[in-house]
Amino acid sequence: MDAIFDVRNLSVYYGDKIGIKDVSLQIYRNKVTAVIGPSGCGKSTFLRTLNRLVELVEGVRIEGRVLFDGKNIFDRDVDPVELRRRVGMVFQHPNPFPKSIFENVAYGPKIHGIKDREKLQEIVEDSLKKAALWDEVKDRLSESALGLSGGQQQRLCIARAIATNPEVILFDEPTSALDPIASSKIEELMIELKKRYTVIVVTHNIQQAARISDYTAFFWMGELVEYDRTEKIFEYPENELTERYITGRVG
């Protein structure tokens, strides 16, 4: 199968604290991969390593390799700006910029050098459609994004991530701040998005992982315990810890 990310012996340390330890796995193209585990197990650290956002933390140290399309993202000649264009991210809490809806979506493309107004308009419309938000906001693109509901804001953040035309979209617990209806819309969207993008989602909602993902990785105290097809993980987990976690007996 076609792996877009090939993670090899990845360890991340915060000072002398371990974030993740010796993780190796492959993420498959155009699939939804869920990363589950209890709080503090390193799942967010893992996700943030894939777009090198983890480097913003002072005193962080990274060992190992992450091959993205065969190229190690920590190589000297890799520009994090270009990496982040290709690997978009959606966060736990909806975090639109205090700007208009249009400016939010156009922010990424502008960074990457697109200035032509018509081209930007095209990208904004296309991204909002892909994020299933266009019909709700098409008449008020110039209004502040902060006037949208939480669920709409999160879909706007998805549109913003789509606008740079990425290959991968990382989701860091994207529904944990939303109500059930807004959450299910985001879930449907993530399944829809895998046609075009590779989706990696960190979640501590185990049912969500089961509903939407093709592959599931289970982290425990910084280590990757088990990684397999989602049905396999949920029906015949090999590791006893995995079984206990997904049945709600630990964590």
Partner 1 sequence: MDRLSKMKERIIVLFLALCAVMTLFVTVSIIAILLGESLLFFSKVSPVEFFTGTRWTPTIKPYSFGVLPLVIGTLMITIGAGLIAIPAGILSAIYLSEYASERTRNVLKPMLEILAGIPTVVYGFFAFAYITPYLKKIFPDMQAYNALSASIVVGIMIIPIVASISEDAIRAVPRSLREAGYALGARKPRVILTIVIPSALSGIVASFILGISRAVGETMAVTIAAGRTPRLANILNPDDWMKSIETMTAAMVEIGMSDVSGQSVAYKSLFAIGLTLFAMTFALNTVSYIVKMRFREVYR
Strands, E assignment, the chain: 3-14, 17-28, 32-36, 60-68, 71-72, 87-90, 168-172, 198-202, 215-220, 223-229
Among 20, 34, 161, 209, binds partner 1 (CB under 8 A): 161
Question: Which window, 156-164, 191-199, 221-229, 231-239, contacts partner 1 (CB under 8 A)?
Answer: 156-164
Residue 133 main-chain phi, psi, to 5 deg: -125, -15
Long-range CB contacts (within 8 A, 24+) of 224-228? 224/20, 224/23, 224/24, 224/25, 225/37, 227/25
Is residue 69 close enough to count as binding partner 1 by CB under 8 A?
no
Q: Which is nearer to partner 1, 27 or 169 (CB)?
A: 169
Q: Which is nearer to partner 1, 132 or 146 (CB)?
A: 146
Kindly list the distances between the CA atom of residue 73 and the CA atoms of 5, 14, 15, 66, in Å, as whole numbers in the listed order. 10, 19, 21, 6
Find the shortest distance in angstroms from Cβ 17 to partner 1.
17
Is residue 81 close enough to count as binding partner 1 by CB under 8 A?
yes
Is residue 59 close enough to count as binding partner 1 by CB under 8 A?
no
Is residue 80 close enough to count as binding partner 1 by CB under 8 A?
yes
Is residue 85 close enough to count as binding partner 1 by CB under 8 A?
yes
Long-range CB contacts (within 8 A, 24+) of 138-143? 140/101, 141/100, 141/101, 141/102, 142/100, 142/101, 142/102, 143/100, 143/101
Residue 143 main-chain phi, psi, to 5 deg: -85, 160
Is residue 174 close enough to count as binding partner 1 by CB under 8 A?
no
Among 99, 129, 204, 232, binds partner 1 (CB under 8 A): 99
Is residue 112 close enough to count as binding partner 1 by CB under 8 A?
yes
One character per residue 14-53, x = contact with partner 1 (rule: CB under 8 A): -------------------------------------x-x
Is residue 165 close enough to count as binding partner 1 by CB under 8 A?
no
- Chain positions contacting partner 1, by CB under 8 A: 51, 53, 56, 58, 80-85, 88-89, 91-93, 95-99, 107-108, 111-112, 146, 157, 160-161, 164
